[in-house]
Structure formats: C-alpha cells, structure tokens
Structure 1
C-alpha cells in the first residue's frame, strides 16, 4: 500500500522516486554531514553582501571564473551548468562572489598581515639541510666523525647508510619551512649556521646527524601576503561555522 503525502506537502526536490519537502532538507544535510559546508557558504554570502563591484569588475570576475574552470567554449559552458544544475544567473553569481570574497578578505585582514607575519615568521623561514638517520647510535657516531674528521662527503654516506627517503637525494632535504621537520630537529636547525654539523641527536626512534646548508628567511612578498590573509580568513570562518552550529544545536535542544 502506498502512503499518500500529507495535504500540505510541497516537494522542492525530486531524487528518483523520492520527493523532498523543504522541511526534509536540513535533517538530511545534518545526517550526511553537509550542514557545516552549507553554513560556511551562507556565512560567506552574508560577509560579502555589502561588497560592490562595478559592471566592468563583474564581467571580469565571470571571465576569470570561466578561465579557472577551463571553460572556453559554449559547449563546455553548457556542460558545466548542466552537470551542476546551475543557470546562467548562478554562473554570474559564482563569478562575482569569488571576486567579492577576494576583496572582502583583502579589506578585512590586509591591515593585519604585517603583525601576523611577525608572529608566524619563525615558522615560515625555510631551511635546506642534509640529514643521515639510523636506529643505531654507534653507527650515527661513526658517520659523524667520518664527515667531520675524515672529510668524507655527507651525500655519499647518506646514500649508503641513511634509512629514510633522504638517502635517494644524498641526505639533502628542502628547502622546507621550519614547521615541517620534527620539533627537536627544527630547534637544532634554527640555532645553526650554514655548514654547521651537529653530533648525533636522538629524534624519536632515530639517531640523526644533521648539517644546515642554507637558511632562507621568509619575506612578506605578494604570495606570502595572500597566504597569510587566507589563513586569517579561514580561522575566522571556522570559528563562525562552529558558533553557528553550536547556536542552532542549542535552539533545537530547547525546542525539543
């Protein structure tokens, strides 16, 4: 026997034989873990609502959106819309929204970048270093003396004895940001001068012999500036999403 929908049932979405009403959408988003994604997009819409674009900027924004998504022909454009269930108006909205978000992030967090860069600089500095690691303390000590006293090439010994992937590069790692290596190794590197060789040091399960090759201080160039703006924005956005979900959870609890 087929159950008839209630008289006030007004489907807003059909998926195969299933008809969904507006009241079904939020519970389904929650069930499938999609509610945070929806909250994030709505928060972005609210934040960028006051950002105004000129007609020229709006047209350029749509063109850039098409380029980023590699849409060059009318056929590709129509395929893009069809696959995502979008209209031409939606396409224009998405292009303009991308530009508005860039402008919003720049206007809101751009003034904070210099001070934030100083806070983050010690993690953004990069190092190029050579490493040999082994689980044998005695071997690590021997390799240290063969490099320091006998002048044997670090790269040759790393290829022969190092037990990590760095053996394939002659022990050479980087350049990487100082936040990438093990914290104990980062502390050694930040204290080093280029060319300085350190005696074997215990790092986790390994005994390592390390030498700093180059220290590359971070600079606040355009790429780093944009990265830091994005970091500040993403931190803010995550906080807003969590607050939104928490507040809605409290409302639902109170109404049960």
Structure 2
C-alpha cells in the first residue's frame, strides 16, 4: 500500500509531498538534516548521557507527562524513537564537532584570531571634507574632545554615543577602518579618510585580543561546522526522481 499524508480532507501522496517541499523551498533544509544525521550516525552516547539528555529535553519542553508526549507525537506525526533521537541530536552534533575539529582547534584559533579580536573605537563621519579636516585639527590640538565633536558634527548613529563604537569584532568595521585599527596604538588618531560617500575620522580606544576560552571554542566549532556543512551541501547534488509525474517540475521547483 502506497503511503499517503492525510491533512483534513486532503490526501497527499509522497510525490505530491515532495513537490510541496520543493515549492516551499524546504528541500535544502531537508538535505541539511540528512547530511548532519549521516555524519552523527556513528556518534554514540553512554546510557547515562542518553537518559539524562532525554530527561532534560522533556523538562525543557514540558513533555515529562506521558499525555504531553503522546500529544506532541500525534501533532508532528513522530514515533517515540524519533522524539528521543531529536532529544539527543544536539549533544551528538556537539560530540561530532569536537571529534572532527577539537584536536586542531588551537591552530584554527591562530588562523581566525584576527577576525575574532574585538575593538572599541571612536568615529566621526561627515559628507563635508573641509569640515572633517577642521574637526581633525581641533581634536589633534586639544581644542575639542573627540566625543564632543562626534556628538555635535557626526552624521551617523555614533553621534548618539559620543562617537564611541564597540566592543565589536574586528571584522565588523569597514575593511579600510579595520586595517587602520589593526595597526594603531590606543588613542591613535587618524587623519580624515574618504570612504564611499563619507569622510571619516577614526581613533582607536582599545584593542581586545581574542582568547581561546570556552565561548571562543564554541564560536570556532560552530563556524567550522557550518563551513563544512555548506561544502557538503554544495557537492551533494539534489534531484527529484519519482517516475513520470516527477519529471519536468523538479528542476523548475528548485530554480
């Protein structure tokens, strides 16, 4: 017997369900889950980890009562085994990340450190080059503070913070600004620079070097995982084949 999906008065075949997934642009998300599930298939939890993780998942999602679990299984059309797999999935993914990249994390950290460093800096931007030059000389001569000039004359949102921005990752500012900040000493003031339609004055307040702490480890592992996943998806072709009725609309649905 061919399985079908019953939704109210509608009966949806497998082929129609795939067509709907394509039309709603959900097939790439399905492929993402398939790639992840294949990757973590060999990741095993201890009986204690399995039990504890499932219990925590049930408590977090208010599913400790049998009636609540039965209701959610019916709502999502899941089996109990599928629900337990979902409950432990996040932990198995984390174990996969550590098993794959954990031993090389320090070298990855050194590679990505320039992007992870954070910076606090001050910025004035104006569309008037002459005004920018005048403000620069006033600040350099100590006639007015950077904060005062930013508050009075900067034409960006930084005017509301006395010109100060951050801490932000070094990768966030405009690349030209980031390059200047990377070679600056705290307090160093740069002459006006033209960037697109603006003329900007920049001063480094503080450079905050990244450290390989727990938060950075998590950030790096997530970055490497998403990078790997994107590569896997790009080299895994997606096609729909299910007889004559599937031909013609498959490529169109993913276009």
Q: Which moved more, 1:83-92 or 1:214-223?
A: 83-92
After superposition, the C-alpha distances for 1:90-128 in whole angstroms (9 at most, x for unaligned) are 321111122111111111111222222112111111110
Q: 2:160 aligns with which of 165, 168, 171?
A: 168
User: Which residue of 2 is the match for residue 5 of structure 1?
Assistant: none
Shift of 1:14: 1.3
Where does the alignment leave 5 or more consecutive residues of structure 1 unmatched? 1-7
Shift of 1:79: 6.1
* Mapping 1:57-72, distance limit 5 Å: 57-66=49-58, 69-71=60-62
Contact 2:97 2:225 (8 Å CA) reproduced: yes
Shift of 1:72: 6.9
Shift of 1:130: 0.7
Q: 2:109 aligns with which of 103, 117, 123?
A: 117
Shift of 1:17: 2.5
Contact 1:61 1:98 (8 Å CA) reproduced: no
User: Which residue of 2 is the match for residue 218 of structure 1?
Assistant: 210
User: Which residue of 2 is the match for residue 108 of structure 1?
Assistant: 100
User: Which residue of 2 is the match for residue 193 of structure 1?
Assistant: 185
User: Which residue of 2 is the match for residue 4 of structure 1?
Assistant: none
TM-score (norm 1): 0.86
Contact 1:11 1:19 (8 Å CA) reproduced: no
More contact order relative to length (CA 8 Å, sep ≥ 6): 2
User: Which residue of 1 is the match for residue 83 of structure 2?
Assistant: 91
Name the Cα RMSD after superposition.
Answer: 2.5
Q: How many residues align?
A: 244
Shift of 1:166: 0.5
User: Which residue of 2 is the match for residue 127 of structure 1?
Assistant: 119
User: Which residue of 2 is the match for residue 37 of structure 1?
Assistant: 29
Q: 1:138 aligns with which of 130, 137, 159?
A: 130
Q: Which moved more, 1:79-88 or 1:127-136?
A: 79-88
User: Which residue of 2 is the match for residue 207 of structure 1?
Assistant: 199
